[in-house]
Amino acid sequence: ASPFPVQAAPAAVAKKKPVKKKVIIDTGLPKKKVKKTSSVTASMAKITGAPGAPRRTAATKKLLAKSLGAPKMERSLDESDLMGQFKTKATGVKKVTAEEDSESKVAVRMGVLRAIASLTEKSANVQLDLPLLKILLGFLMAFGLGDGNEGVRNASRNAARDIVALFGSSDEAIAFFLPQFELALKTGRTDDEMLDPLSPEKVPKTIAASDYRKEGVVVSLGSIALHLKNDGDEDKIDGIIDMLLNALKTPSEDVQSSVALCLSKLMKKGRTQQRIEILLNDLMTECIHGSSLASQRGAAYGISAAVKGSGIASLKKYEVVKRLEEACTSGSPNSKEGSLFCIELLSSRLGILFEPYVIVLLPALLKAFSDSNDYVRLAADKTVGLIMGKLSGHGVKLVMPAVLDAFNEPEWRTKQASIHMLGSMSHCAPKQLAKCLPQVVPKLTEAFSDTHPKVKNSAEEALEEICKVIKNPEISSISPTLLRALTDASATLQALEALISTEFVHAIDAPSLSIIIPVVHRGLRDRAATTKRYAALISGNICTMVNDPRDFVPYLPILLPALKSTLLDPIPDVRSISAKSLGSLTRGLGEATFPDLRPWLVDTMRSEGGSGVERSGAAQGLSELLVAGGAQLTENVMINEILPLKSHPKAGTREGVLWVLTFLPSVLGQAYSSLIDESLPALLSGLADDNESVRDVALRAGRVLVRSHGKAHKDKILPSLEEGLSNEDYRIRCASLTLLGDLLGMLGGTKVGKANTDTQDEFRQAERAQAQIALALGNETRKRVLSSLYLARSDTAAVVRQSAVQVWKTVVSVTARTLREILSELVDQIVIALASGDPERTQVAGRCLGDIVSKLGDKVLPEIIPVLRDNFHRGDEFTRQGVCVGLAEVIDCSSKEQITKFLDILVKLVQDALCDEDEQVRAMAASCFQNLYNLVGNRTLDEIVPALLVAMESDDEVTKTRALNGMTGILGVRSRELLPYIIPRLLKTPLTISHADALGSISGATSGTIHMHFNSIIPTLIVELASFSEIEMDEEEKAREEAIRHCFRAVCHNVDITGVNWLISEIVSKGAHDK
């Protein structure tokens, strides 16, 4: 098939496409495989006189023309055929469509045109005579200039222009071609005789092809005008120039460019210089006020060609630049666009000659980037890009300040313009630009965070050029990775890893630093923890790799805010590395370089609005900052500024202080020992704080202190922890226990865990730990600490008990043996706890006492019971309460045989406790009596109740009251067993006042069971009261009567719901008595 497309015939359906016969041309070369060639190629072989080309006869020509140009016949199908296409698969039926102009065909035509254009090259050294020129130009005008593909037309136009300029200087050629060009301009067609022996059948003859042909012929006309004489052909030259000027309005950039190239060569031909002013004025008017884009652009091409051909002086002579500047700044959008076209083309044509005028026009160009009109901005972008690419080194120095100032403009288009300028300037003067990089690259980095993608894309291109001025070989080797990180956020981690893995032999210079900092800055702002961690690490280390640390200072305004942000990151590792980076920078540059850093850290640490994470990061950064300043500075700031805030009313401030105490010990090392005494009060107050987060941080700080300074300063730390074990708040007890476990584990060379010490390895580990603790603390301190620890095993809070058990099993191998060793100290602490008056501590001590008895049994009772008895008789009411609690636990955890040995002591002790004047003591003594009764049985009653009954008959009111209290207490717990024993004794007639009072008191303690004895109590009371109605009563009888009535009222008042019916029945039954 021919590379030149054929006009499509009407669509038809055929079963089989007819096969065209191909013409084979003998080229005279050695025999090869037969290749398909077009008829045009065969004709060219005849024209060029290729050896062995067969001559065509008239019949052959007619047949060839018929095969090329004859339209295909249309076939008609009936309805059944049409429907059959849908029912069955028609393999042989195809639909004929218009011949497509494929890429391969365009490539063939472009190859032919490149071959023709190569004839004009100097290296070709070819001379073309007039007949061959006719055929070539006829071919180019007929087929090339009228082609439907723009690229083919452009190549044809340039080839025709160059051929005419190079080979059309003879008078015969001028005489022949001028009429042909004029004919093509008028009709858009070419003379078929010029194509002979080529066939004109395939020549494009559409209206579009005619228009294309007219555009291309104008350029050829301008080329032939170069060969006209100045003397006799002035009119022809002027006419051609006018036609060229008119052709500038063609809406084709390539046509206008070719016309301008011809015009610039004709500016000094004929009478052109005499009317150059008029031409420029007309072109300026058309360029600035033109009605269409094509006319404006063409006029701009014409101005550039006129100035180029007339000389640079014409710019000033005819005020071209002044008029362009005015139009660019204050004209309409149409005028601005036209002036920008002209500036662009003047810079393109004149190059370095136009550079002095660029400085004048630069403000207007930058302003054009922020214009409201899209077309103006587009023209400005193209103009500036071309200008900056042609600036010399001196021009860079002149333009740089204005370009950098343009970064501060709010319009993104202005930013983009300045970025484009910098990218282009790097081509012109990389040495001069390298000195400005510390100021330029930060601004380019800002452009990467711009919201507009075009600004970012421009910055990418500019940075690629800037990388060429880097002198550090290590950075140069990884510069593609760094640039990719700046343009693609996902490549930031790879770039940071490359920086970390690079071994730097040479110092980092300022250009290298300018590329590294944006990558690090982006890494600090990345969401991934690893990326932020690497970036923070590089930020701290880079200060040690530069020649002069002061080269790093200009980048601090960019880097420091990002480091502050990562310092407050939720991930602890990121915060830690960021804090260390701040410390490294402070150490390398001096704290004076960061005057606002420490105040910011303190304010963030105290912030109530921030989270605990932010306060933690600020405190860690402050710790690193203080350590970088030296131990003396750290001590002064801590004592005078930080620690006084431990009692601040705001919880956030107190938490911030404790965060500092968390990080400072490990950062400062052994130098922190001078601050332990000052920091311990803050830790203890934090453990007792009302705010839970403050307590948590205080515990964390305590653990850090124990791990870092526990061994060396255990004498300072241990007393505070022992005091915390007896605190009222279970959280403080738990925290103190945790810290104590850490300290003992560190002293014993073990670690507190949840494992049971049942295996031999764990047993031996606990043995070693116990020995090392005894060696480190001393025997007395060890006993005291272990006693406090064992006491905590009976705590009321489950979490405290669990922690105490874990610590105990870690540092104690055999519990029974250790209890025997610390028994005296443990009992003393138990007694102190029992006498504390705190119900919770008392309960804990009682539980612990019972636990000891259950473990040691007979070995411990002889020591415990006398101690409890002595403390009961010597102590106050709180001590007596505690003794009762402990005694109840001892009885409950002992066996009958063990208690029987000490029954005399226990009975007397329980009886005294039951008769105590303090109600709380009596209540706890009743519990002791209950446990003793459950263990021993009725012997308890036999030992205590008779004595109490005897005491109740005493004349001493104190003794009687104590006995009654004891009896009431006993009945409160064992009423069913005691009432049958006591009621008959109290109801002996005559009923005494003491018995009546006792019965009333007993009824209050036995309200749930006394109704079962109403059959004896109610009749007795009624009979006794009835006996007073028939006698004269003296004072004693009246007192007795009043006591009995009071007893009756007490019995009726104290009876519960169940006993009401019993009471009423007994009273009613006596209502029918005859007395």
- pLDDT at residue 759 in the model: 67
Structure tokens at 755: 């494992």
Q: Tell me the average pLDDT across 495-522.
A: 84
pLDDT winner (highest mean) among 504-508, 683-687, 699-703, 906-910: 699-703
Q: Tell me the average pLDDT across 557-573.
A: 90
- pLDDT surpassing 50 at residue 130: yes
**Angle between helices 276-289 and 320-330 in degrees, nearest 10:** 10
- pLDDT at residue 429 in the model: 52
Q: Between 23 and 440, where is the model more confident?
A: 440
Query: By three-state DSSP, how is residue 95 classified?
Result: strand
- pLDDT at residue 82 in the model: 41
- pLDDT at residue 74 in the model: 43
What is d(CA 617, CA 604) in angstroms, rounded to the nearest whole number?
9
- pLDDT surpassing 70 at residue 53: no
Would you list the DSSP string of 820-879?
HHHHHHHHHHHHHHHTS--HHHHHHHHHHHHHHHHHHGGGTHHHHHHHHHHHHHHS-HHH
Q: How confident is the model at residue 733 (pLDDT cuts 50, 70, 90)?
A: confident
Q: Which residues contact 356 (CB under 8 A, 6 or more apart)?
A: none
**Angle between helices 676-687 and 730-748 in degrees, nearest 10:** 140
- Please measure the distance between the N-terminal and C-terminal CA atoms of the chain and give it in whole angstroms: 150
Q: How confident is the model at residue 424 (pLDDT cuts 50, 70, 90)?
A: low
Query: By three-state DSSP, how is residue 127 classified?
Result: coil
- pLDDT at residue 574 in the model: 92
Query: By three-state DSSP, how is residue 408 classified?
Result: coil
DSSP 8-state assignment for residue 507: P
- Annotate 605-638 with three-state secondary structure: HHCCCCCHHHHHHHHHHHHHHHHHHCHHHHHHHH
Q: How confident is the model at residue 578 (pLDDT cuts 50, 70, 90)?
A: very high
182 contacts 176 by C-beta, under 8 angstroms: no
Task: Name the average pLDDT for the chain.
Answer: 77
Chain-centroid distance of CA 622 in Å reads: 23
Chain-centroid distance of CA 450 in Å reads: 19
- pLDDT surpassing 70 at residue 6: no
Q: Between 950 and 619, where is the model more confident?
A: 619
**Residue 137 exposure: Cα atoms within 13 Å on the Cβ side:** 35
Q: Between 98 and 1060, where is the model more confident?
A: 1060
- pLDDT at residue 354 in the model: 85
- pLDDT at residue 96 in the model: 37
The per-residue pLDDT for range 247-283, each reduced to its tens digit, is 788 787 777 887 788 777 777 777 777 788 888 888 8
What is d(CA 485, CA 489) in angstroms, rounded to the nearest whole number?
6
What is d(CA 263, CA 245) in angstroms, rounded to the nearest whole number?
8
What is d(CA 255, CA 297) in angstroms, rounded to the nearest whole number?
11
The per-residue pLDDT for range 448-492, each reduced to its tens digit, is 778 888 888 888 777 777 777 777 788 888 888 888 887 777 888
Q: Tell me the average pLDDT across 995-1000.
A: 75
Q: How confident is the model at residue 1073 (pLDDT cuts 50, 70, 90)?
A: low
DSSP 8-state assignment for residue 639: I
The per-residue pLDDT for range 201-254, each reduced to its tens digit, is 778 878 877 777 777 777 777 776 767 766 666 777 777 777 778 878 878 777
- pLDDT surpassing 50 at residue 98: no
868 contacts 887 by C-beta, under 8 angstroms: yes
- pLDDT at residue 580 in the model: 92
Structure tokens at 157: 């136009």
Residue 864's nearest CA partner among 903, 826, 897 is 826
Q: Is the dihedral of CA 347, 352, 356, 359 positive or negative?
A: positive
Structure tokens at 944: 């205590």
Give percent of the chain with pLDDT exceeding 90.
Answer: 3
The per-residue pLDDT for range 747-800, each reduced to its tens digit, is 887 777 654 545 667 777 777 877 888 888 888 888 888 888 888 888 888 888
- pLDDT at residue 1006 in the model: 72
DSSP 8-state assignment for residue 249: T
What is d(CA 547, CA 487) in angstroms, rounded to the nearest whole number?
28
Q: Identify the bridge partners of residue 14 per DSSP, sorted by sequence position.
A: 94
* Strand (E) or helix (H) holding 94: strand 94-95
With 0-12 / 13-18 / 19 or more C-beta atoms within 10 angstroms meaning exposed / middle / buried, residue 185 is middle
Give me the amino acid identity at 77: L
What is d(CA 29, CA 356) in angstroms, rounded to the nearest whole number?
60
- pLDDT surpassing 60 at residue 643: yes
The per-residue pLDDT for range 382-397, each reduced to its tens digit, is 888 788 777 776 777 7
pTM: 0.55
Give the number of other CB atoms < 10 A from CB of residue 735: 28
Residue 938's nearest CA partner among 894, 897, 986, 977 is 977
- pLDDT at residue 754 in the model: 54
Q: How confident is the model at residue 30 (pLDDT cuts 50, 70, 90)?
A: very low
The per-residue pLDDT for range 945-987, each reduced to its tens digit, is 777 777 776 767 777 777 777 777 776 666 666 677 677 777 7
